[in-house]
């Protein structure tokens, strides 16, 4: 029996087939119910637009539209390779789980059992502009979720690259490998662009989800601009979530509940186009969000952030880069093995039962945590009782421990001389709070006035 789609999905498929933009009229446009189907987008791409002079259309998940996981509102993947693309393939040898140093495709190479040949295609652009989405999670039977199995992959908008295996059918026969290896073709989108979109009623799944493809680059360029989230019934997942990275990510002028980066499979272990690995480049500009999580494994994420306002927590680890001219509220969860520079950043920390835990920096598995602070302020937010205690900057560490102020190195015993004459605890060498402890009158330290005129300091913590 043929699949019966909603008028919206039918219109999207027709726009793809005719290589024409889809211009949605004002009103609500329902997605399919209970659907795990994907929408295959060819090299010609897809545009979903509206008339900017009219009220924005709303793409809405229908009531009771979910009865399980992986049921997305709209789920986009690249279409399968064409015969000319297959004929032009430059086959490379990959090994599952290996950090590729080169393509190892010389005649002397004897592949192991789990090897394969592959090619990566990057093509196709998706643009969504001036269209809103209603996740409508408050009208889904969420009480049917099984314990430990939430419907967290049922995003409203989902994008990722895809792998196609050689099959003896027209259009997917990739030929025979001289080495007797199976062949695969990975297809990535060249770009995904979403501009001027309001998202409402999100909950157990991400509103906008870049999901796993297990190859590099997944998507060459992701651009998200003027995204806003509203009316969150019982928020558990992100407004924008990356379960796999993209080569280049630009997010700007957004007001979000949560922005989440995660990749449990180190990105330099998966097939890629070039021998030299390239980190994901992430530009974050003028973003207000309650939560920002930088949690991709393997130091594969390079962040350039400016004008951020994080109102509940910055979390994560193994990220590198810089954040400038921003306000960050930080809870007591530590930042792990980061390599970051913070310039003109205002930090705020909660007071919990009279205790301030401050900014914690933790090394993990022998990898240090390094941070440079230029003209930062560190403030304990909220009412401070007379018996307040804790630290504004903290860390557990084992020797060696490194600190420098204005490029001059200092030993641990000399750090106390740099700190203003506030109440402070001794600074033992091993496994102790680090730097400034709070007294009743201590609320803020500033690196441009509270460190004896020094404007910059660097901390590196190590652990065996």
Task: Please check whether residue 285 lies inside any domain of the structure.
Answer: no
Are 273 and 405 members of one domain? no
Q: Please indicate whether residue 24 or residue 271 has the higher confidence score (pLDDT).
A: 24
Query: What pLDDT does 411 receive?
Result: 42
- Check whether residue 34 and residue 154 sit in a common domain: yes
Same domain, 233 and 350: no
pLDDT in tens, 229-267: 987 766 778 899 999 999 999 999 999 999 999 887 777
360 or 78: which carries more pLDDT confidence? 78
* CB-CB contact of 186 with 273 (8 Å): no
Specify if 311 maps to a domain: no
Q: What number is the average pLDDT over the span 415-419?
A: 39
259 with 336, same domain? no
pLDDT at residue number 4 = 83
Strand order in the sheet with 335-336: 335-336, 359-362, 393-394
- What's the distance, CA 377 to chain centroid? 26
In a domain, 318, yes or no: no
Specify the higher pLDDT residue, 329 or 368.
329
Domain containing 463 equals 330-464
Question: Where is pLDDT greater, at 443 or 42?
Answer: 42
Same domain, residue pair 264 and 338: no
In this structure, the answer to whether residues 173 and 28 fall within a common structural domain is yes
For residue 276, give every residue at least 6 positions away whose Cβ sits within 8 Å of its Cβ, in sequence order, or none. none
> Does residue 101 or residue 342 have the better pLDDT?
342
Regarding whether 123 and 62 lie in a shared domain, the answer is: yes
For residues 372 and 406, the answer to whether their CB atoms sit within 8 Å is no
Q: Is the pTM of this model over 0.75?
A: yes
Average pLDDT (391-396) is 62
Q: Cα–Cα distances in Å, from 259 out to 240, 403, 423? A: 5, 31, 38
Instruction: With a cut of 90, say whether residue 1 has pLDDT above it.
Output: no
Which of 145-159, 275-289, 401-415 shows the lowest per-residue confidence on average (mean pLDDT)?
Answer: 401-415
Confidence of residue 100 (pLDDT cuts 50, 70, 90): low
Name the pLDDT band for 434 (thresholds 50, 70, 90): very low
For the chain, give the percent of residues with pLDDT over 90: 51
- How is 113-152 classified by DSSP, letter by letter? TTEEEEEEEE--EEEEES-EEE--GGGS-GGGSBTTB--T
Judgement on whether residues 339 and 273 belong to the same structural domain of the protein: no
* Domain assignment of residue 38, yes or no: yes
Residue finishing a domain among 278, 297, 318 = 278
Same domain for 265 and 119?
yes
In a domain, residue 345? The reply is: yes
Residue 396: the pLDDT is: 52
Q: How many domains would you assign to the chain?
A: 2
Boundary of a domain, candidates 262, 278, 294: 278
8 A C-beta contact, residue 462 and residue 363: yes
177, burial (CB in 10 Å: exposed 0-12, middle 13-18, buried 19+): middle
pLDDT score at 61: 97
Are residue 378 and residue 259 in the same domain, yes or no? no
Q: Does 111 lie in the same domain as 12?
A: yes
Write down the pLDDT at residue 310: 97
- Band of pLDDT at residue 393, cut at 50, 70 and 90: low
> Given a cut of 70, is residue 381 above it in pLDDT?
yes
| Residues paired with residue 361 on neighbouring β-strands, in sequence order | 335
The pLDDT of residue 273 is 86
pLDDT at 185: 95
Over range 208-215, report the average pLDDT.
Answer: 94
For the record, the structure tokens of 41 come out as: 């987008």
Contact 280, 270 (CB under 8 A): no
Helix-, strand-, coil-residue percentages of the chain, each rounded to 5: 5, 45, 50
Residue 399 located in a structural domain: yes
pLDDT digits (tens, 9 = 90+) for 297-324: 778 889 999 999 999 999 988 889 999 9
Q: Which residue has the higher pLDDT, 243 or 355?
A: 243
Residues 260 and 389 in one domain: no
Whole-number pLDDT of residue 440? 37
Contact status, residue 248 vs residue 191, Cβ threshold 8 Å: no
Q: Does residue 175 fall inside a structural domain?
A: yes
Q: Are 43 and 124 in contact (CB under 8 A)?
A: yes
Residue 54, burial from CB neighbour count under 10 angstroms (0-12, 13-18, 19+): exposed
In a domain, residue 295? The reply is: no
């Amino acid at each position: 029996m043929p699949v019966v789609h909603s008028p919206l999905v039918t219109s999207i498929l027709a726009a793809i087939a005719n290589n024409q933009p889809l211009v949605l009229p004002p009103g609500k446009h329902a997605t399919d119910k209970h659907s795990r189907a994907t929408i295959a987008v060819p090299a010609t791409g897809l545009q979903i637009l509206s008339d900017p002079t009219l009220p924005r259309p709303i793409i809405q998940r229908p009531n009771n539209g979910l009865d399980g996981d992986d049921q997305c509102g709209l789920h986009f993947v690249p279409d399968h390779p064409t015969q000319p693309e297959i004929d032009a393939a430059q086959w490379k040898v990959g090994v599952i789980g290996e950090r590729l140093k080169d393509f190892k495709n010389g005649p002397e190479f004897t592949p192991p059992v789990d090897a394969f040949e592959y090619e990566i295609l990057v093509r196709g652009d998706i643009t969504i502009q001036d269209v809103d989405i209603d996740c409508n999670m408050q009208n889904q039977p969420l009480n049917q979720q099984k314990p430990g199995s939430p419907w967290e992959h049922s995003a409203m908008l989902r994008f990722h690259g895809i792998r196609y295996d050689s099959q003896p059918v027209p259009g997917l026969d990739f030929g025979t490998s001289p080495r007797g290896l199976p062949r695969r073709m990975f297809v990535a989108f060249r770009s995904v662009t979403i501009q001027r979109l309001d998202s409402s009623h999100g909950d157990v799944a991400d509103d906008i989800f870049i999901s796993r493809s297990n190859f590099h680059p997944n998507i060459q360029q992701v651009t998200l601009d003027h995204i806003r989230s509203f009316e969150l019934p019982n928020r558990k997942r992100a407004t924008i979530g990356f379960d796999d990275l993209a080569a280049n990510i630009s997010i700007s002028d957004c007001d979000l509940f949560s922005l989440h980066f995660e990749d449990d499979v180190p990105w330099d272990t998966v097939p890629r186009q070039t021998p030299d690995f390239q980190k994901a480049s992430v530009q974050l500009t003028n973003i207000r969000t309650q939560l920002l999580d930088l949690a991709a494994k393997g130091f594969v994420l390079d962040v350039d952030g400016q004008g951020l306002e994080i109102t509940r927590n910055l979390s994560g680890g193994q990220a590198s880069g810089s954040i400038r001219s921003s306000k960050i509220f930080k809870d007591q969860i530590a930042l792990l093995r980061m390599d970051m520079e913070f310039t003109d950043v205002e930090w705020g920390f909660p007071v919990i039962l009279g205790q301030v835990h401050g900014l914690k920096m933790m090394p993990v598995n022998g990898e240090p945590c390094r941070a440079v602070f230029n003209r930062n302020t560190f403030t304990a937010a909220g009412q401070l009782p007379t018996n307040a205690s804790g630290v504004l900057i903290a860390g557990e560490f084992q020797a060696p421990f490194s600190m420098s102020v204005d490029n001059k190195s200092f030993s641990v015993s000399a750090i106390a001389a740099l700190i203003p004459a506030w109440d402070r605890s001794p600074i033992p060498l091993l496994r102790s709070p680090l730097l400034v402890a709070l007294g009743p009158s201590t609320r803020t330290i500033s690196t441009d006035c509270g460190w004896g005129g020094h404007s910059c300091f660097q901390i590196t913590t190590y652990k065996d």
